[in-house]
Structure 1
């Protein structure tokens, strides 16, 4: 399939490389299509294996008590991996554990990788699931030691053998080559840095000559997002110019997608990179505020005048005064509301023009009670009403990523973002913070979306 490829699987004490450890390693290496090595070993993780993991894998504490430490098999494992592509099912998981274990020994693992989950998707796009259990069932495999390292490796090898028979060797090679197609980096980019890119959420920053900020982006997989910029498929000359101007890049890991988005937004406003101009442009914001006791009964307010704690009387989010006025005029016309009462018709005595044309029910000349007109206005505006803050006070939205062991809590109050805490001390400081912040439409829309998702972990910080 490839000149040299090693199929590997690990069993571990859990899912977090920085906290959990490897309990078993198995691999099968092929060179020029011929199996040249097959190796497996239990590994003493130097920590207890959780009961759930013991029941899942069948590997218990007694089995690994006298097994070698990772440090004792590291050199042998490196020899198996030398000059080969590391292939694994969800290779991000196995590669992450190996990099962490080698890092503890002062070794930086630089390894080309191939994900057999992605390979299965390319070979069998008609199927929805591509986990090992699904593959075992789909290919009618029997005698597979599921959840043991060598058993899972053998499941993948059998799947590929079936693919060669069903689809042909050329199709398997083509799919593998497609996944391995490496982006071409400009000569001035240090290729060794690519190996350090994390396959976890975060923000990345591109800089040009004299450290001029060029571009800031985010992704749930920073490595994939950065490499995509250097792929051969440039959608525009602008993207081509960007890659030519990059002299160095850096990245900041985050706990999740929300954390990456919020950090990206903050950095864009601070650095204003050249190729993010359209994202850093600060748009004006206007909204209609309803006050039945005033005349006119609605007034246009700008973002700076919006009190985030008093959102119940605001309707609509508009980019300009003209857009806001046109929207209100259309609402009035559809619902027979009085333009004069709404302040959309200049001061003049007598009924409004719309009343004379029988398009107004007469709130301007006593033919309709002001209270009734006010109720009709509220009903007409209800679809545009901004949401009240649904909590008693501050909340925290928590994200945790087990791969990089990052925990971040983002604190909000009345739709306003107050900051991020990565420690209990920082969280306490944000809980007691009283500095007012300006209402921002992008934060409001983001929170509406995030808070509607069941997976969002919300912490009540009001008590």
Structure 2
């Protein structure tokens, strides 16, 4: 049972917004007992790093002010003393707590205190108001904060805000709201915690939206609610998670038939809607590969970088056997060839990286074994070439023809059959009866992300259906 009679109102100023990179420059703690202030403490902190000009203008804290003040490791013992037996209260507490937790972690000290966020408190007590940032609340309540963005003034205004809430409602309701935060303490300030009571713990995708309805992120999981909560509980140690959590205002989800369905849907949504925080799975205009006919002949075929979708992978079932690697552009594929050359003493001329006849440049540097000038046999070079390319070889399709991956989510009674042929995603149906009238996507192209999904998922215990006899 958390005792809310002792509160420690905390505010910090920092060199930036990233808790794993930026540093604390000032901290203030205002202690109250049963609503009355019993102690105020404030200290500047030497960040041992540059304070950006924009931050100096915002806070008024300049480099000269923090030259001869203690570093955070010297102040942590005082912070521990001030927070002992108190509930930490902060406005947008996720920000302050993330910086403090990282500072404690760097000094091998566990940061574990009950936390109340006054942004969440304001949202719950005044749900009809749209904005709950500190400036908006100060204006709404007619309060005065002389030095905004200085730790002591920002911390000292918070007891006044809480007192106003108790006046507008009653102390018991405010304490109940504080207690409810302890159950879902990691929920971002702009999210209504009630959303988690209806969020399913089933396979599917989830979508994070910003204040204006812009899509921030799409993710997938076999347990949606658990995965969403993990985003928010770990954000103190990841700058990207922290920035995303600060911007999330709404969450949607789509339940799927299983893990494979969730992976496919996630990839489709990221490509079609380009969420701000999704770095992977982006739509690609072209996909390139290294094509090399490795028949052990008397002559060595030169590898070439080609758009892989120029190969008809459905009608020419063996067309992928001579392909190596999947690349977003020609430059990356060429750089891979160059790296293989250097690591395996291959010939720049034979790889198409150099022009001309006679010894290649690498041979002159003793980094080629001499296929270009008759010092190495064709067979020996081809074998070495095969060995060098083997780790990036595109895997052959392990089935006779088209297959279906069947999934069923018993909890939500959702079924799905995904139709795949030679790493191409041809579409999906809800059940086997729909296969009769299924129209294949004849425009399907090889997709790097779907290829990776298949490679990982085909090793799992999915239910497979042989669809080799389907008309295509």
Aligned residue for 2:248? 246
Aligned residue for 1:24? none
Seen in structure 2, the aligned counterparts of structure 1 residues 459 and 233 have a Cα distance that, compared at 3 Å, is same
The gaps in structure 1 that reach 5 residues or longer are 3-176
Aligned residues: 286
Deviation string, structure 1 residues 383-436 (Cα, Å, up to 9, x no partner): 332111111221111222222222222221111122232233544444x51513
Deviation string, structure 1 residues 238-294 (Cα, Å, up to 9, x no partner): 545544543432211112222111111111112222232555364974321113689
| Structure 2 residue 468 is matched with structure 1 residue 459 | no
Aligned residue for 1:258? 260
Match for 1:206 among 201, 205, 208?
Answer: 208
Rounded to whole Å, the distance in 1 between the matches of 2:344 and 2:276 is 46
1:198–1:222 CA contact under 8 A, matched in 2: yes
Aligned residue for 2:44? none
Aligned residue for 2:430? 422
The gaps in structure 2 that reach 5 residues or longer are 3-178
TM-score, normalising length: structure 2: 0.52
Query: Deviation of residue 355 (structure 1)?
Result: 4.7
Seen in structure 2, the aligned counterparts of structure 1 residues 323 and 270 have a Cα distance that, compared at 3 Å, is closer
1:220–1:257 CA contact under 8 A, matched in 2: yes
Aligned residue for 2:324? 315
Deviation string, structure 1 residues 327-362 (Cα, Å, up to 9, x no partner): 434444555543222222222x43434455665454
Query: Deviation of residue 381 (structure 1)?
Result: 2.4
Rounded to whole Å, the distance in 2 between the matches of 1:359 and 1:237 is 43
Aligned residue for 2:302? 297
1:183–1:232 CA contact under 8 A, matched in 2: no
| Structure 2 residue 419 is matched with structure 1 residue 411 | yes
Seen in structure 2, the aligned counterparts of structure 1 residues 427 and 290 have a Cα distance that, compared at 3 Å, is same
Rounded to whole Å, the distance in 2 between the matches of 1:191 and 1:340 is 63
Query: Deviation of residue 210 (structure 1)?
Result: 4.3
Match for 1:216 among 207, 215, 218?
Answer: 218
Rounded to whole Å, the distance in 2 between the matches of 1:187 and 1:316 is 44
Aligned residue for 1:324? 333
TM-score, normalising length: structure 1: 0.53
Query: Deviation of residue 186 (structure 1)?
Result: 6.2
Rounded to whole Å, the distance in 2 between the matches of 1:188 and 1:330 is 48
Seen in structure 2, the aligned counterparts of structure 1 residues 234 and 353 have a Cα distance that, compared at 3 Å, is closer
Query: 1:102-251 alignment to 2 at 5 Å?
Result: 181-183=183-185, 189-229=191-231, 231=233, 234-236=236-238, 238-251=240-253
Aligned residue for 1:159? none
Query: Deviation of residue 299 (structure 1)?
Result: 0.7
Aligned residue for 1:346? 355
